[in-house]
């Protein structure tokens, strides 16, 4: 049995999917320097705040059970007063409920979000080439590298002033309303793949954000793996991110539910999401370890489910390379 | 009624009704197969440019920044001309 994991210790049951052929669309692209292709980094990670250990189950313990989970578990709190937020606040958007809440909204607010694993998930403020601003989410996979959706780092638009790499992205790990427990850092270094930046193919919609400083040494990070179809469809997907419809991108909301189906390059689920949660990890918990299996990107469309870009073998290899290139 | 993918394959100058998310952003309007989940969203998957439709005239739209979109799929009728869905 072959397995492929990164970051947190390897899961002996994890298998990489070896039936996805790498194509030209999998070739990395960058908004500046050349990619340095190196072997996987094995750096330790450390914590300066609490750690929520994964239990025996495959859901995060937030007072929440499958299948009849209800909103408002023990982590839920009132929406804070957003008056007087700093300039990293994103409270100016007039928001409403998204199409990608499937049935009743079962998302649970994570507050505070300064303990592991919640602090690996980062609220993003994205500034596009034309200065327009957007909300997204990303998650750490190493001290300096966060994974997100391709359309977070490279916005495709018919408007040539907007189309292209983001001008900058502000990364706010574990943000909880006004609280920025790990501060806010700005990145201008991004990677994606040609399948997204050149072709706009939603099956290649992923990328990474590279930080100048090793902030991930304070937050920790998720592992990631490429798994078989059978493993994924018997897995509970966990997803936590920063939606625009709840807290205007300043609050972290979580939900977990069994993955519905997979294709070679996508993972489908009825976990509730909304705009702003693009780039969130879809991760599994197994033997107490957390490994991302997909990168949330799209709401309901031709499929009746929300979807993530699957971490298949080519995606895995690129993530390993990007992580190794930025120790 | 066509999906956006089917509409992209429709022959020129034919009347069609297309189902998808209507989203106006960056100065152009599209009907898209799905929404990419930044906030505000971006058109995702297959997408067809729409001309002659004011998204603000549709019911139950949402708006943030310069982006206005329908949170649910809608049906839009028009004529395909040069790869654009023209609405009268």
Q: Report yes or no: B51 at the A interface, CB cutoff 8 Å.
A: no
Q: What is the pLDDT of residue A3?
A: 37
Q: Rounded to whole angstroms, how far apart are CA atoms A311 and A300? A: 20
**Does the complex come out with an ipTM higher than 0.90?**
yes
Q: Report yes or no: B63 at the A interface, CB cutoff 8 Å.
A: yes
Residues 6+ away with beta carbon under 8 Å from B51 = B29, B84, B85, B86, B87
More confident site: A61 or A79: A61
- Chain B hits for A155, Cβ within 8 Å: 42
Q: Which of A64-73, A77-86, A267-276, B4-13 shows the lowest per-residue confidence on average (mean pLDDT)?
A: A77-86
Q: Rounded to whole angstroms, how far apart are CA atoms A44 and A319? A: 17
Number of Cβ within a 10 Å radius of residue A27 = 15
Shortest alpha-carbon distance between residue B59 and chain A (Å) = 14
Q: Quick check: B34 and A157 CB within 8 A?
A: no
> Which of A28, A101, A88 minimizes the C-alpha distance to A272?
A101
| Cβ–Cβ under 8 Å, residues A275 and B39 | yes
Chain segment A19-34, per-residue pLDDT in tens: 567 788 888 877 643 2
Shortest alpha-carbon distance between residue B41 and chain A (Å) = 6
Q: Kindly tell me the sign of the dihedral angle through the C-alpha atoms of B49, B52, B56, B61.
A: negative
Task: Output the CA angle A99-A100-A106, nearest 5 degrees.
Answer: 120
Chain segment B33-60, per-residue pLDDT in tens: 999 999 999 999 999 999 999 998 899 9
More confident site: B85 or A86: B85
**Helix or strand or coil: residue A223?**
strand
Helices (H), chain A: 150-153, 194-197, 216-219, 229-233, 313-325
The two beta strands, A108-110 and A164-165, are unpaired
More confident site: A256 or A99: A256
Structure tokens at B43: 């058109």
Chain segment A121-154, per-residue pLDDT in tens: 999 999 999 999 999 999 999 999 999 999 999 9
Give this prediction's pTM: 0.84
Sequential DSSP letters for A108-124: EEESS--SBTGGGEEEE
Q: What is the pLDDT of residue A20?
A: 66
More confident site: A39 or B3: B3
Q: Kindly tell me the sign of the dihedral angle through the C-alpha atoms of A246, A248, A251, A255.
A: positive
Q: What is the pLDDT of residue A70?
A: 32
Chain segment A252-295, per-residue pLDDT in tens: 999 999 999 999 999 999 999 999 999 999 999 988 889 999 99
Structure tokens at B88: 């009268």
């Amino acid at each position: 049995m072959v397995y492929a994991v990164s970051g947190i210790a390897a899961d002996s049951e994890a298998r990489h999917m070896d039936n996805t052929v790498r194509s030209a669309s999998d070739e990395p692209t960058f908004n500046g320097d050349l990619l340095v292709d190196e072997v996987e980094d094995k750096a330790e990670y450390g914590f300066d705040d609490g750690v929520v250990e994964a239990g025996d189950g495959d859901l995060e313990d937030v007072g929440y059970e499958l299948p009849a989970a209800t909103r408002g578990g023990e982590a839920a709190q009132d929406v804070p007063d957003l008056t007087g937020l700093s300039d990293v606040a994103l409270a100016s958007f007039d928001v409403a409920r998204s199409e990608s809440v499937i049935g009743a909204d079962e998302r649970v607010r994570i507050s505070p979000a300064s303990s592991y694993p919640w602090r690996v998930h980062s609220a993003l403020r994205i500034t596009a080439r034309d200065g327009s601003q957007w909300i997204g989410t990303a998650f750490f996979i190493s001290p300096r590298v966060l994974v997100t959706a391709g359309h977070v780092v490279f916005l495709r638009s018919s408007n040539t002033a907007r189309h292209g790499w983001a001008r900058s992205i502000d990364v706010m790990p574990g943000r909880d309303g006004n609280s920025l427990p790990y501060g806010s850092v700005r990145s201008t270094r991004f990677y994606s793949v040609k399948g997204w930046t050149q072709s706009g193919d939603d099956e290649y919609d992923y990328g990474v954000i590279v930080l100048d400083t090793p902030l991930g040494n304070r937050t920790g990070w998720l592992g990631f793996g490429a798994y078989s179809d059978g493993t994924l469809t018997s897995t509970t997907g966990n997803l936590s991110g920063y939606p625009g419809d709840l807290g205007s991108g300043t609050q972290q909301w979580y939900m977990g539910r069994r993955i519905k189906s997979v294709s070679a390059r996508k993972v489908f689920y009825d976990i509730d999401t909304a705009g702003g949660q693009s780039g969130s990890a879809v991760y599994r918990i197994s033997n107490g370890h957390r490994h991302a299996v997909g990168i949330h990107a799209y709401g309901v469309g031709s499929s009746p489910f929300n979807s993530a870009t699957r971490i298949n073998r080519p995606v895995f290899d690129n993530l390993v390379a990007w992580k190794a290139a930025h120790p | 009624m066509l999906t956006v993918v089917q509409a992209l394959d429709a022959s020129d100058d034919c009347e069609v009704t297309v189902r998808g998310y209507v989203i106006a952003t960056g100065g152009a309007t599209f009907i898209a197969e799905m929404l990419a989940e930044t906030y505000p969203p971006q058109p995702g998957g297959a997408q067809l440019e729409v001309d002659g439709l004011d998204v603000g005239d549709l019911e139950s739209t949402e708006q943030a920044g310069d982006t206005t979109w329908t949170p649910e799929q809608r049906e839009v009728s028009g004529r395909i001309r040069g790869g654009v869905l023209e609405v009268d």
